[in-house]
Chain A
Amino acid sequence: MGELGGRISKARHDAGLEKTDAERDTDAAVGAGLGAAWRISIEIVVALVVCTAIGWALDYWFGTKPWLMLIFLFLGGAAGMNNAVRTALRIDAQATEALQRKSQGDAPAKLGEERAVESAEDSTEDGEGDRRER
């Protein structure tokens, strides 16, 4: 009887009727990580090339060679890094959250984690205050 019950709940699970959020998130994190690898590679190159081209064109119009191109080269690098890093961080956060939720169970774990982060911030602020007083 117990075995039958187990089989029914397993069938339920296999049919996706009882898939947990944690499992869904882990699936998502894996997929997103793959996407990030492809995204990051080209993000920086495109931003650099396009921004440099914009700078070059503006220089051509205003006759300010090579200053605008240099500025845009810098901005393009920053923008490319920005896009790439942001994606990486977001995917990373998503994956970590999914893993944490999977290892610690659901909502209560998350609440506890937030509290821990808050207290950590409090303590660092206190530390700074101490230093200032000294």
Chain B
Amino acid sequence: MSVDRHIEHSSPMHQFVIGRLNDWQLGGLDISFSKAAAFMFGAVIVATLFLVLTTSRRAMVPGRWQSVAELWYEFIADMIKETIGSEGRKYFPFVFSLFSFIVMCNLLGMLPYSYTVTSHIAVTITLALSVFVLTTFIGITRHGTQFLSFFVPKGVPLVMLFLVVPIEVLSYFMRPISHSVRLFANMTAGHTMLKVFGGFVVQMGVFGVLPFALIVALTGLEVAIAVLQAYVFTILTCLYLNDAIHLEH
């Protein structure tokens, strides 16, 4: 790369370096494979293998792992049924993939010395923008010009519309940003905090027991946040899909 960045290995921010493994270019586009890319494929492989292997026995009475796979499936299926309704069935594979990708990336990032794909705004904004483009596309193809009525709330006086419509439009375009920043901020904050406390453990030697206990507790909290943020990202996707399909606020 032309830019030569350096970051101290001991810095809590070092864990967020994407870790380029080569310098591939494709027609001016930088497609260098990195630790980040490796973890993305890791998430894909783990999610797929988990679902395929746990259902290989097709047991009538599910074992523990098969139950997890079934719960995972029904969790998303119910979420779609409840937020969108029967019309959401079409988008089940997309929503399921989205949730699985995020939750797997988040959880893989919890392993020691690993890398958290979702702690990068580049990743979360790409995911959020694909949801934004998809929902807008669905809204326009389903409702045509009627889709613009989404920005005009009912029962507002004409004079107020000059103020309300810009706010509605801004709100709509703020969606992918808040959608992506929420995930990015949560993952970054959590991992930075863990690394900072990890530094304390090393520095304090014998007295590092206290921050170590804190790290254990924080790790538990971070695992919960990893799952919760994947859930939040997914349910917001469902709500946006519902808006586009049913054209209601």
A interface list, Cβ under 8 A from B = 24-25, 27-28, 31-32, 34-35, 38-39, 42-43, 46-47, 50-51, 75-76, 78-80, 82-83, 86-87, 90
Contact = CB atoms under 8 A, between A and B. Distances in A.
B123 interface: no
Nearest to B170: A79
A75 B236 CA distance: 23
B228 A38 contact: yes
Contacts of A51: 170, 174
Q: Which 5 A-B pairs have the closest CB atoms?
A: A28-B82, A79-B170, A46-B178, A79-B171, A35-B235
Given A31-B235, A32-B83, 7 more contacts: A24-B81, A28-B78, A31-B82, A34-B228, A43-B174, A46-B178, A80-B174
A87 B178 CA distance: 13
A119 B78 CA distance: 36
Contact of B174 (A27, A34, A83, A87): A83
Interface of B: 78-79, 81-83, 166-168, 170-171, 174-175, 177-178, 181-182, 185, 228-229, 231-232, 235-236, 239, 249
A90 to B, nearest CB: 7
Contacts of A24: 78, 81-82
B249 A86 contact: yes
Contact of A42 (B78, B79, B166, B181): B181
Given A35-B232, A38-B232, A46-B181, A79 B167 contact: yes
A47 B232 contact: no
A39 B82 contact: no
Contacts of A87: 239
Contacts of B168: 82
A86 B82 CA distance: 18
Contact of B177 (A27, A50, A78, A90): A50
B235 A79 contact: no
B231 A35 contact: yes
A52 to B, nearest CB: 12
A27 B77 CA distance: 13
Given A32-B235, A39-B182, A83 B171 contact: yes
A110 B112 CA distance: 53
A19 to B, nearest CB: 10
A27 B182 contact: no
Given A31-B79, A75-B166, A78-B167, A90 B249 contact: yes
Most chain A CB inside 10 Å of its own CB: which residue of B82, B166, B231: B82
Contact of B167 (A32, A39, A82): A82
A46 B177 contact: yes
A19 B232 CA distance: 25
Contacts of B174: 43, 46-47, 50-51, 76, 79-80, 83
Contacts of A38: 182, 228-229, 232
Contacts of A90: 239, 249
A25 B249 CA distance: 19
B160 to A, nearest CB: 12
